[in-house]
Amino acid sequence: MIVRKTRLALAAAALAGLAAVATPGSAHHSTAMFEWGTSTAMKNVTVERWEWTNPHTFIYVRDADGKRWAFEGMSPNHLSRAGWSKRSLKPGDKIDLTYYKLRDGRRGGFNVTVTKTDGTQLTQLPGQE
pLDDT tens by residue, 51-91: 999 999 999 999 999 999 999 999 999 999 999 999 999 99
pLDDT tens by residue, 1-26: 676 666 655 544 444 444 444 434 44
> Is 4 a member of any domain?
no
Range of the domain at 75: 34-123
Indicate the average pLDDT of the chain.
Answer: 83
We report the CATH number of the domain holding residue 76 as 2.40.50.140
Task: Give pTM, 2 decimals.
Answer: 0.74
Q: Where are the beta strands (DSSP E) in the chain?
A: 34-51, 58-62, 68-72, 94-102, 108-116, 121-123
pLDDT of residue 127: 61
The bridge status of strand 94-102 relative to strand 68-72 is unpaired
> Is 48 a member of any domain?
yes
Q: How many domains does the chain have?
A: 1
> Is 79 a member of any domain?
yes
> Is 56 a member of any domain?
yes
